[in-house]
Amino acid sequence: MHSERAPRWLKIAAGAGLAFMHLPILLIFVYAFTTEEKSYQWPPPGFTLKWFAVTWNRPDVWQALSLSLRVAAVSTAVALVLGTLCAAAVSRTRFFGREVISLMVILPIALPGIITGIALRSAFSLADIPFSFWTIVLGHATFCVVVVYNNAVARFRRISGSLIEASMDLGADGFQTFRYVILPNIATALLAGGMLAFALSFDEVIVTTFTAGQQQTLPIWMLEELVRPRQRPVTNVVAMVVVIVTFLPILGAYYLTRGTESVAGQGK
């Protein structure tokens, strides 16, 4: 490792870059406490905690939050099951078209959300499927599966194939092998993938606008709220909550996958 000290200008530039990325978020937090409710005025004319109480008492916030949490939870669950199965198939077996399937699974995350959204909306209307909780989940699952799949497939590749054979050899059937050998070895990858998927789903806007109909998830509620000129700081209070709710799982995923590089590759 290079341990020379960086020149001062480089430190300043790095600091400025980080500040540029993160100071605006602080600004959001500050506006959650402002006494001015119609426009974002700087500096804030005064500070108050009343917006927390106002937010607490608004049923539309609770509805949106609950919808978002439910959608994120179900999408993550769907993604965990499908992503793991798909990763197992692609990494453990060889079949015709394997690479194509691998590519097609990853594609939704590379596609602009707006295209995924339009495509899903057209498909729903063509099939006469009314918008519902499940259409949102479906939209979110398209990219949540990718995140879980990517995490799981990397881990699956590191599990030596003979581990599974050894388990079978010692008398474990397919289910026991999954339960006692595969799952413990991919658990952290699944947890990390699941948390990332949850965070992605929780703050998704674009695909949701096309698949939600009249329902409002939290990010969509915030978008609508911004155009309304009253009780603006309520949006900021909610924004704080969103930052915290999405930040914690991502932090958790980071810590969980950090120390597990050598989990499954040894014994060679």
Point out which residues bind other proteins (CB under 8 A): 160, 162-163, 165-173, 176, 180-181, 184-185, 262-268
Q: What is the smallest separation between the CB atom of 157 and other proteins, expressed in angstroms?
A: 15
Distance of CA 34 to the CA centre of its chain: 30
* Nearer CB in complex with other proteins: 173/224: 173
* Nearer CB in complex with other proteins: 168/205: 168
Helix (H, G, I), strand (E, B) or coil at 228: coil
CA angle 105, 106, 108 (to 5 degrees): 90
Give the number of residues written for the chain.
268
Q: What is the smallest separation between the CB atom of 244 and other proteins, expressed in angstroms?
A: 33
* Nearer CB in complex with other proteins: 101/172: 172
* Nearer CB in complex with other proteins: 145/264: 264
Cβ count near 157 (within 10 Å): 14
**Sign of the torsion angle spanned by Cα atoms 56, 61, 62, 66:** negative
Helix (H, G, I), strand (E, B) or coil at 268: coil
Note whether 136 and 204 are within 8 A (CB): no
Q: What is the smallest separation between the CB atom of 160 and other proteins, expressed in angstroms?
A: 6
Q: What is the smallest separation between the CB atom of 182 and other proteins, expressed in angstroms?
A: 10
